[in-house]
Amino acid sequence: MRLNICFPYSATDEISSAIRKVVEDVDTGKLQHAEIDEKALESRLQIPGPDLDILVRTSGQIRFSNYMLWQSVKMAYIRFVDVFWPDFSFFHMVCILISWQLAYNDIQRRKQLRK
């Protein structure tokens, strides 16, 4: 299991930086035009890696706030919690994990339908 906590972070900056890296790699011959795909872009993100399972947004705001936009579109379990980050506790995380476990089979089924 991997836990990412991102301070100061901007998903639009992350995506635009990855695009610049793709363009640079094409210009230098490290990447061919035909090789440009989702995986090529994803591998150049600041936070590449396995698909995001759970995204927690604290503060009670129901918005992404430019946070992990690319990673959260692949059927991530997204929870908006009405508690500020300093007050986010182990109890909050356990509740989210139990809720995710209950939804897990449905999430996996939906992921399979996307393929």
The model carries a pTM of 0.74
Task: Please say if the pLDDT value at position 79 is more than 70.
Answer: yes
Question: Which tokens belong to 32?
Answer: 């061919």
Task: For the chain, report the end-to-end CA distance as a whole number of angstroms.
Answer: 24
* pLDDT above 70: residue 108: yes
| Contacts (Cβ under 8 Å, ≥6 apart) of 17 | 44, 46
Q: Which residues of 16-34 are buried (b: 16+ CB within 10 A; e: fewer)?
A: eebeebbeebeeeeebeee
CB-based contact 69:47 (threshold 8 Å): no
Q: In this predicted structure, which of 16-20, 39-43, 62-66, 101-105 has the lowest mean pLDDT?
A: 62-66
Instruction: Give the lowest-confidence range in 1-5, 44-48, 86-90.
Output: 1-5
Task: Compute the distance between CA of residue 102 and CA of residue 94 in angstroms, rounded to an integer.
Answer: 12
The answer to which of 14-18, 51-55, 64-68 has the lowest mean pLDDT is 64-68
Query: What is the C-alpha separation between 2 and 53, in angstroms, rounded?
Result: 10
d(CA 44, CA 86): 31
Neighbours of 48 (CB within 10 A): 14
